[in-house]
A and B are shown apart, each in its own frame.
Chain A
Amino acid sequence: MFQFIFRRLSLVIPTFIGITLLTFTLIRLIPGDPIDVMAGERGVSPERHAELSAQLGFDQPLYIQYFRYVTGVLQGDLGNSLVTKEPVMSEFLTLFPATIELALCAVIFAISIGLPAGIFAAVKRGTIVDHSVMTFSLTGYSMPVFWWALLLMLVFSVNLGWTPVSGRIDVTYWIDDVTGFMLIDTFLSDEEGAFASAVSHLILPSIVLGTIPMAVIARMTRSSMLEVLSEDYIRTARAKGIAPWRVIVIHALRNALIPVITVIGLQVGILLSGAILTETVFAWPGVGKWLIESIGRRDYPVVQGGILIVACIIIFVNLMVDITYGIINPRIRHSR
């Protein structure tokens, strides 16, 4: 098992170098210089431009800038944002809890609906139940996030008044930052009703963000279950007279889960890297929106650093998925 993990880890180093090179180059290939973008139509004089360039180190040849960046990264320093002057790492850490909180709630929503729906559709294959589940999941998958979010918001928040429109908590609660996770912070605080307010603010964003993963999980579970259900050992189990639910849950589901876990893992990775549209619509202070805004402002250090951290997270989640395979299916573990 250790050898397996070690082998996986050794692949990480070249991936890192690739990511640093790619982000460093790509952001510089986008036309528009950060100093000009900051100055707008007011503009800066050529002397001031040169002075600022020198101050930010942009007057150096690219390979030196890259070398400085990589040296910084190796020492744990991702640089400071050109706009806010704050360290990239500390900005990331302020925003990341909000992203994790939303991603986890969305995944919980996606799994708790998608998995049973997929199983149900597979068991009732060809019936109206199967067709409805598949139609719903296809609709969910193809729904434009922006539109879906605004639709839910208009119906549930503006017209019915059941859920709040956006934000993480009602502004009348003044909650201190302890962990950055609103659910935990409100739970720890003495303010009555704050926790309920935090939960109610999570409902719509979680549903919106969880809709596509839910559809993917439902479809994947269904097809994987169908495959397993036609295997010989399931027929044997049924012939032995085992209760139908036991056949499905104990015998079929465990094997059917392997591809589903891959999909869930990939989805978690994507969600943790920030959900740009959902975060923008619900004014959710997460990393996706932060990265997009930084690209617009040509904030090189934030784009480079932010993407690097996000890439690390995706690599880490994938590694965890690989290890989970090994635990669920001994054949994978031993075959390596």
Chain B
Amino acid sequence: MKKGLATLTLALMAAGAISTSTHAATTLVYCSEGSPEGFNASLYTSGTTFDASSKNMFNRLLEFKLGTTETEAGLAESYDVSSDGLEYTFHLRKGVQFHSTKDFTPTRDFNADDVIFSFDRQGNKNNPYHMVSGGSYEYYTAMGMDTLVKDIVRIDDYTVKFVLNQQEAPFVANMAMDFASIFSKEQADALMKAGTPEKLDSDPVGTGPFQKVQYRKDSLIRYTAFENYWKGKAKVDRLVFSITPDASVRYAKLKAGECDVMPYPNPADLKQMEADPNINLLSQEGLNVGYLAFNTQKKPFNDVRVRQALSLATDKSAIIDTVFQGAGKVAKNPIPPTMWSYNNKVVDYQYDPVKAKKLLAEAGYPDGFTTNIWAMPVQRPYNPNARRMAEVMQEDWSKIGVKAEIVSYEWGEYLDRSKKGEHDTVLLGWTGDNGDPDNFLYVLLGCEGVGGSNRAQWCNEEFNNLLLGAKRTADKAERTKLYEESQVVFKREAPWITIAHSVVYEPIRKEVKGYKVDPLGGHFFYNVSK
């Protein structure tokens, strides 16, 4: 009898243990690469900060459809554009709740006041929050929002109108960017009243799928899934960012099961990761481009034939092998293939030194000439080793008689001098901000950028008019057509040698489901389960 009772007790205990384990909270661990600078994305520009704040804690009026660079409805269910393209009216979603913290519990749902506050703080110098935490809103300014937005009008609780100074179709993509995250005005007011407004930037509430519970600098960030999230609760109960700056250590943690997802692996580890049965290695071209810009205002690069000749003389696949060691793809367009309006029909200059030499002779340089290649002193995703890249190009060009000297400066000076056009040719690159082609094409190649971000100092009327046309219409099909055409003009005129798009790798544990690589470089965990 006693024995029977004991068996029954054991069986009950075992059943209890099983039932608790099935109900145990699921925790997803992301081994992030560094500490966020803060928790208000509008104050910063680094992806590390965006992952920890805007991507998982906040929403914007529009969102990027996961895995693409296209926008979809976010906190705004829809928007209308006025016929003159100067007014954007957003119709806001009802019943959206904000998180709560130890010191703040919201009493109302999200509404138009929150939208106006979030933008007014950045654009209006008289907003009481403008100077809190330094008053520097780099992305808002960099995207030209300070000069673009004329007024933000509250139509009613759930309708907000943005009035612009000029027609600017990429404005829509800006509304899905991290700096456009929506904060709670109610929390801001409460903190101002309590005399601690700076807490809005370190301990804010958002409307996103996860709410922050604890942050230990350089160690970890803890979040719980927000029960009342408007799209429904996230699939995991807890999310932890385990801050691990060293890539080899992140990999060791992934192997040991101490983390589920890791960003930025060492290229040297990729082969081993691919072979590991416990790891899925996801990959995608990054939203970036590495290029060599000719200074088109200097001789001999003012002659398109010279630019074409050097494009033909450069063996890009050799660069991908030696410099990127496989973690890159040859670029033929100035925008990456993950971006809408990428023109796949464009035909690239194929490596052909004989044809190049002929073209150079036609341009009046049968024996070549002497020039320079500027190589960046820093490592960037779109160019892991600029010096090496310059050496490969130097070697290629010497075959058609062009003698190039490699020049480098300290990074700040490099950027500054190349802006002024002191170079003959310069290696540089770009990582996209908002997934809009305008953010690559107009910023880097538009006439307005000459003497600034347009390192080729290239102003081509035909190309520029196509871009201006695409800025002025909100019709996406029309814009796509214009951008596709502009890429053909670009290739023909060859102001750059488009070299490579880096490939982003993200190893995850096999048991992680639903994770997608974001072409904009973010890390989202809403749809992820384990």
Contacts and interface: CB of A to CB of B under 8 A. Distances in A.
The answer to whether A and B come from one shared complex is yes
Contact of B252 (A33, A91, A94, A154): A154
A39 B411 contact: no
Interface stretch (B151-159, B238-246, B311-319): B238-246
Interface stretch (B134-142, B296-304, B364-372, B394-402): B134-142
A22 interface: no
A280 B246 contact: yes
B252 A43 contact: no
A168 B242 CA distance: 10
B31 to A, nearest CB: 8
B415 interface: yes
Interface string A38-69: 11111111001000100100000000000000
The B interface is mostly helix, strand or loop, or mixed, namely mixed
Interface string A274-289: 0000001111111001
A168 B412 CA distance: 37
A318 interface: no
A122 B217 CA distance: 45
A30 to B, nearest CB: 9
Contact of A150 (B37, B216, B243, B248): B248
Given A166-B249, A167-B220, A36 B411 contact: yes
A11 interface: no
Contacts of A55: 134-136
Contacts of A280: 245-246
A292 to B, nearest CB: 10
A36 to B, nearest CB: 4
B141 A48 contact: yes
A165 interface: yes
A42 B452 CA distance: 10
B408 to A, nearest CB: 12
A171 B248 contact: no
Nearest to B413: A31
A77 interface: no
A33 B400 CA distance: 40
Contacts of A95: 217-218
Contacts of B493: none
Contacts of A281: 246, 249
Contact of A177 (B216, B248, B452): B216
A15 to B, nearest CB: 29
B355 interface: no
Interface in B371-423: 380, 410-413, 415-416, 419
Interface residues of B, number: 51
Which of A55, A164, A167, A174 has the most chain B CB within a 10 Å cutoff? Answer: A167
B215 to A, nearest CB: 10
Contacts of A44: 138
Given A42-B142, A85-B133, A289 B256 contact: no
A304 to B, nearest CB: 18
A85 B134 contact: yes
A255 B415 CA distance: 62
Given A42-B142, A172-B27, A280-B245, A157 B256 contact: yes
Contacts of B216: 94, 177, 285
B134 A36 contact: no
Contacts of A31: 410, 412-413
B132 to A, nearest CB: 9
A156 to B, nearest CB: 10
A41 B133 contact: no
B235 interface: no
Contacts of B217: 91, 94-95, 285, 290
Nearest to A166: B249
Given A37-B411, A41-B428, A281-B249, A98 B256 contact: no
Contacts of A85: 38, 43, 133-134, 198, 201
A68 B83 CA distance: 55
A283 B242 contact: yes
B429 interface: yes
A37 B412 contact: yes
Nearest to A51: B136
Contacts of B430: 41
A290 B217 CA distance: 10
B119 to A, nearest CB: 19
B500 to A, nearest CB: 16
Contact of B218 (A52, A171, A172, A289): A289
The interface size bin for chain A is 35 or more
Contacts of B134: 55, 85
A157 B201 CA distance: 37
A282 B249 contact: yes
B181 interface: no
A33 B411 CA distance: 10
A39 B201 contact: no
A32 interface: yes
B179 to A, nearest CB: 13
B398 to A, nearest CB: 28
A165 B381 CA distance: 27
Contact of A283 (B142, B202, B249): B249
Given A153-B249, A174-B214, A283-B245, A158 B256 contact: yes
A74 B484 CA distance: 62
Interface in B199-228: 201-202, 213-214, 216-220, 222
A335 interface: no
A249 interface: no
A269 to B, nearest CB: 22
B243 A165 contact: no
B218 A43 contact: no
B415 A43 contact: yes
Contacts of A72: none
Contact of B219 (A40, A43, A98): A98
Given A85-B38, A174-B213, A283-B245, A158 B252 contact: yes
B308 interface: no
B441 to A, nearest CB: 16
A174 B452 CA distance: 49
A207 to B, nearest CB: 16
A179 interface: no
Given A167-B242, A283-B245, A285-B216, A42 B45 contact: yes
Given A43-B419, A285-B216, A171 B240 contact: yes
A4 B119 CA distance: 62
B45 A38 contact: yes
A161 interface: yes
A289 B416 CA distance: 30
B249 A289 contact: no
B121 interface: no
Given A31-B412, A171-B242, A176-B214, 14 more contacts: A36-B415, A41-B415, A42-B453, A86-B202, A150-B248, A153-B252, A164-B256, A166-B252, A166-B253, A174-B222, A177-B214, A280-B245, A280-B246, A284-B218
17 contacts: A32-B410, A33-B412, A36-B411, A36-B412, A37-B411, A38-B45, A38-B138, A42-B142, A42-B453, A55-B134, A91-B217, A164-B258, A165-B249, A165-B256, A167-B219, A167-B220, A176-B214
Interface of B: 27, 29, 34, 37-38, 43, 45, 133-136, 138, 141-142, 198, 201-202, 213-214, 216-220, 222, 240, 242-246, 248-249, 252-253, 255-256, 258, 380, 410-413, 415-416, 419, 428-430, 452-453
Interface of A: 31-33, 36-45, 48, 52, 55, 83-86, 91, 94-95, 98, 150, 153-154, 157-158, 161, 164-168, 171-172, 174, 176-177, 280-286, 289-290, 293
A-B pairs, top 7 by smallest CB distance, nearest first, are A285-B218, A36-B412, A285-B219, A31-B410, A283-B244, A171-B240, A165-B253
